């Protein structure tokens, strides 16, 4: 079977699953689909049936880059400044505190484990530790929506969880993007290689330039078909440039999304296009990621992955609890709202996929940690959100519930 036909079948399967199956599963079982597609990819990959061989996965690299670009674009498009400024300051403080405490906890734990290896130095251990810290901060926003929808109620804690999932994504993508500017491979044939600061400016400039060009040429376009083509082209340009320079495609396209959502007059059209395309593309990425994963029993990988999982739980729950106590809102949000952010999500896997595509000694460790976290948390993430919110939200039909929902 040809690679093109296999890709067509995977994409077709993903679109049917996204538009027919996933919404029904979410409503019926309070489950966010995702982890099962990783398992399907593992079955189809070279470690099982071999339908998606290693050579074919290399051929699908442009598709993977496009998916990474759309994920970053979707994250950036959530940063509509007039909407964000209406969120209370205390919510932002709690969200950022929880996110950075998770980042620090996981990175420190991984550094400690890696330094115990023979011959491992701090300079070698720090990049994968920071990468895993950035991945650990990312949570699953769909779980918040599904869990809150299952209860049929709104409230301040729901807003806190939605804001936290956005902050988690931004912190993870930005820290990961800046890490690649610090841990950058020197360019051959260049008289003076750019400094990390200059690489950071270049990575940001790719996103700004792509967003500005889209706005200048199609900012007022009302045809959905032409907009999709132009958006795909701009995303490919940004991801291709970032990948060619060994930078983060997710970071550059997130910047692009921020530019577009705050400049173009077609914000609703772009958000609708991304909402329709994101889930099918995510399912394609999950299948490809499952095929690319090579689970093993090497202690050098298993122990750090186990430490990552434990440190992430500690960072999310402990960080949320510390932030809530420090800001004096324990009675409003409770001590355990960090449990609702344990779902790992596809954005974290996209960051790990980026690290895998770069190659290097730690690629298998970082990728395995993200895959393990997603397999263990995503199927139960929406139910954890529901269980956390149930005692905190006002009963349905009360005056408090009506005010919380904005009625």
Task: Note the pLDDT of residue 350.
Answer: 92
Task: Note the pLDDT of residue 23.
Answer: 65
Contact yes or no for 104/133 (Cβ under 8 A)? yes
Locate 226 and state its tokens. Answer: 């032409």
Q: String of b and e for 261-296 (b: at least 16 CB within 10 Å)?
A: beebebeebbbebbeebbbbbbbbbbbbbbbbbeee
Higher-scoring residue by pLDDT: 122, 62: 122
State the DSSP string of 33-75.
--HHHHHHHHHHSTTTT-SS-HHHHHHTHHHHHHHHHHHHHHH
Asked whether the predicted pLDDT for residue 167 surpasses 90, the reply is yes
Asked whether the predicted pLDDT for residue 17 surpasses 60, the reply is no
Higher-scoring residue by pLDDT: 279, 21: 279
Task: Note the pLDDT of residue 169.
Answer: 96
Query: What is the band of 78 on the pLDDT scale with cuts at 50, 70, 90?
Result: very high
Asked whether the predicted pLDDT for residue 401 surpasses 70, the reply is no
pTM: 0.89
**Look-up of token digits 């609703």:** 268
Angle between helices 122-137 and 156-182 (to 10 degrees): 150
Task: Note the pLDDT of residue 187.
Answer: 53
Task: Note the pLDDT of residue 95.
Answer: 96
What DSSP state is assigned to residue 195?
Answer: P
Range with the lowest mean pLDDT among 228-242, 254-268, 289-303?
A: 289-303
**Per-residue pLDDT tens for 85-117?**
999 999 999 999 999 999 999 999 999 999 987
Asked whether the predicted pLDDT for residue 397 surpasses 70, the reply is no
Task: Say how far apart CA 62 and CA 51 lie, in whole Å.
Answer: 19
Give the chain's mean pLDDT: 83
Q: What are phi and psi of 108, to 5 degrees?
A: -65, -40
Mean pLDDT across the stretch 205-229?
80
Asked whether the predicted pLDDT for residue 82 surpasses 60, the reply is yes
**Per-residue pLDDT tens for 18-52?**
555 666 565 666 677 677 788 888 888 777 677 77
Task: Say how far apart CA 242 and CA 354 lie, in whole Å.
Answer: 11
Asked whether the predicted pLDDT for residue 5 surpasses 70, the reply is no
Task: Note the pLDDT of residue 20.
Answer: 58
Task: Note the pLDDT of residue 402.
Answer: 39
**Per-residue pLDDT tens for 323-367?**
999 998 988 888 889 999 999 888 999 999 889 888 766 888 999
CATH fold group of domain 3-395 = Na+/H+ antiporter like fold (1.20.1530)
Asked whether the predicted pLDDT for residue 1 surpasses 90, the reply is no
Higher-scoring residue by pLDDT: 187, 84: 84
Task: Note the pLDDT of residue 399.
Answer: 40
Asked whether the predicted pLDDT for residue 161 surpasses 90, the reply is yes
Q: What are phi and psi of 150, to 5 degrees?
A: -65, -30
Task: Note the pLDDT of residue 4.
Answer: 54
Task: Say how far apart CA 267 and CA 270 lie, in whole Å.
Answer: 5
Task: Note the pLDDT of residue 239.
Answer: 92
Which CA distances in Å does 291 have to 147, 279, 297, 326?
A: 30, 19, 18, 44
Task: Say how far apart CA 234 and CA 210 lie, in whole Å.
Answer: 6
State the DSSP string of 197-210.
HHHHHHHHHHHHHH
């Amino acid at each position: 079977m040809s690679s093109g036909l296999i890709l067509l079948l995977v994409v077709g399967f993903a679109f049917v699953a996204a538009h027919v199956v996933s919404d029904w599963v979410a409503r019926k079982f309070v489950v966010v689909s995702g982890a099962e597609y990783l398992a399907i990819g593992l079955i189809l990959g070279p470690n099982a049936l071999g339908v998606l061989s290693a050579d074919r996965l290399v051929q699908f690299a442009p598709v993977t880059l496009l998916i990474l670009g759309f994920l970053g674009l979707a994250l950036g498009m959530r940063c509509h400044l007039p909407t964000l400024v209406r969120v209370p300051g205390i919510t932002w403080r709690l969200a950022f505190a929880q996110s950075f405490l998770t980042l620090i906890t996981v990175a420190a734990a991984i550094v400690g484990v890696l330094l115990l290896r023979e011959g491992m130095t701090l300079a070698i251990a720090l990049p994968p530790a920071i990468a895993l810290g950035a991945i650990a901060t990312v949570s699953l926003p769909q779980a918040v929506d599904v869990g809150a929808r299952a209860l049929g109620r709104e409230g301040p804690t729901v807003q806190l969880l939605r804001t936290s999932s956005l902050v988690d994504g931004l912190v993870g993508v930005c820290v990961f993007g800046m890490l690649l500017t610090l841990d950058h491979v020197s360019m051959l044939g260049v008289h003076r290689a750019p400094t990390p600061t200059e690489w950071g400016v270049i990575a940001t400039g790719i996103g700004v330039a792509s967003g500005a060009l889209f706005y200048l040429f199609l900012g007022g376009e009302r045809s959905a078909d032409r907009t999709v083509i132009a958006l795909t082209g701009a995303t490919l340009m940004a991801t291709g440039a970032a990948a060619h320079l060994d930078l983060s495609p997710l970071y550059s396209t997130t910047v692009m999304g921020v530019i577009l959502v705050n400049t173009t007059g077609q914000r609703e059209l772009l958000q609708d296009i991304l909402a329709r395309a994101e889930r099918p593309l995510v399912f394609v990425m999950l299948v490809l990621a499952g095929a690319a994963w090579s689970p093993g029993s090497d202690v050098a990988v298993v122990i750090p992955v186990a430490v990552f999982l434990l440190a992430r739980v500690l960072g999310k729950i402990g960080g949320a609890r510390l932030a809530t106590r420090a800001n004096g809102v324990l009675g409003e949000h409770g001590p355990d709202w960090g449990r609702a952010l344990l779902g790992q999500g596809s954005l974290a896997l996209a960051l790990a996929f980026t690290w895998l595509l770069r190659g290097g000694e730690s690629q298998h460790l970082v990728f395995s940690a993200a895959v393990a976290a997603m397999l263990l948390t995503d199927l139960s993430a929406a139910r954890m959100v529901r269980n956390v919110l149930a005692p905190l939200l006002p009963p349905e039909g009360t005056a408090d519930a009506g005010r919380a929902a904005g009625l």
